[in-house]
Amino acid sequence: MILVTGGLGMIGAHTARALVNLGHEVVVTSHRRTDVPSFLAGKVSVERLDVTDREAFLALGDRYEISDIVHLAGSIPGTDPVEFFRTDTSGLLNALDAARTWGVRRFAVASSLGVYLGRTEIPWHEDLALPTADLPHLIIAFKKAVEPLTTHSLQGTDVQPVVLRIGSIWGPLMDPESPFNRIPPYISAVLRGEQPRPLHADDGGDCCYAPDAGRAIALLTTAETLQHNTYNVASGRTFTNRDLADALQAITPGLQLTLLPGRQNGPGADPYLDITRLTQDTGFTPAFDSTTAVADYVAWRADNPR
């Protein structure tokens, strides 16, 4: 059985679904959320768990025979950065303690594309040295620390660490007004019959659709062998605002959307993640392009609030 912490969040739920589709039994944990997505109902075991509670975490091993862990649970920073770091570090260390205690095969953990900030090469790939740079958000700062904490904690064990440098993920279960991704709020405005705030046509980045991201993580968790300990999890291509507008207009002929010309910050290119390593070791390729992803998401929103 595979444990997915934070398994009722967007990335966790899509990872759990992909694992089930691959034929695995899955237990997901959630601290506060209780609503199980329709695509997981009756297909996974659900445990309420505060991952900062070490005893409760380790007690999962008394109820389930857990072979692998995907640690995606995390919190949103409040006004106290120390409290945020304390909470998420405690959860990570408890998950690592469980991995060592249970002797699992593989421990996958969420990092972020933000660790590459400061590198000017495009695309960003796993062999780039991570720069010392000012980081724009506490979550990215923590994710950068996750990588050495994980790999060093598992040294000398038979547990293989898998660091997931996750790109910008969007799709079903994301907050439709998320401040972290431009796509759902833009689509939400269109669905309300409003004109979205104009975006620059050529701005964009590597925006991977959540079902693809979940499948990539599932493949990395279950692959017979992996040649590396660090993988980019992304679409491997850019998704511009022009692509977004074109996809929405393909769904609704006659829809008029205003785009500003060029890029907000002038000529150049937005970074995206190289997924060659992921593809070579798992066979992963995205199932969704910008058009099919937007169409799938709009269909999802017709019957689901998030």
> Which band of pLDDT confidence, cut at 50, 70 and 90, is reported for residue 40?
very high
pLDDT tens for each residue of 268-281: 888 999 999 999 99
Cα four-point dihedral sign 43, 280, 153, 208: negative
Task: State the chain's maximal CA–CA distance in angstroms.
Answer: 61
With a cut of 90, say whether residue 34 has pLDDT above it.
no
Distances from the Cα of 285 to the Cαs of 2, 236, 244, 281, in angstroms? 23, 9, 20, 11
Element (H, E) at 231: strand 230-233
- pLDDT, tens digit, for every residue of 163-196? 999 999 999 999 999 988 999 999 999 999 999 9
Residue 56's alpha-carbon distances to 9, 35, 45, in angstroms, are 20, 21, 16
Confidence of residue 133 (pLDDT cuts 50, 70, 90): confident
The encoded tokens of residue 64 equal 């389930």
How confident is the model at residue 66, as a pLDDT? 98
**Confidence check: pLDDT of 253 > 90:** no
Please tell me the predicted confidence (pLDDT) of residue 175. Answer: 93
Task: Report, as an integer, the average pLDDT of 9-31.
Answer: 97
Predicted confidence at residue 132, as pLDDT, reads 85
- Confidence (pLDDT) at 196: 93
pLDDT at 269 (0 to 100): 83
Q: How far apart are CA 94 and CA 278, in angstroms?
A: 27
pLDDT for 267 equals 83
Question: Alpha-carbon distance 239 to 202, whole Å?
Answer: 9
**Cβ–Cβ under 8 Å, residues 279 and 241:** no
For residue 266, with 0-12 CB atoms within 10 Å meaning exposed, 13-18 middle and 19 or more buried, which class applies? Answer: exposed
- Three-state secondary structure along 141-157? HHHHHHHHHHHHHCCCC
Rounded CA gap, 106 and 231, in Å? Answer: 14
**pTM for this one?**
0.96
The mean per-residue pLDDT over the stretch 63-79 comes to: 95
Is 94 in a helix, a strand, or coil?
Answer: helix
The total of other beta-carbon atoms located within 10 Å of residue 168's CB is 22
Cα angle 262-168-143, degrees, rounded to a multiple of 5: 130
Percent of the chain with pLDDT over 90: 90
Residues 6+ apart with CB under 8 A from 34: 8, 48
Query: Residue 160 pLDDT more than 90?
Result: yes
Alpha helices in the chain (DSSP H): 10-21, 54-63, 81-102, 138-153, 183-191, 210-222, 241-251, 276-282, 290-301
Fill in the DSSP letter of residue 124.
B
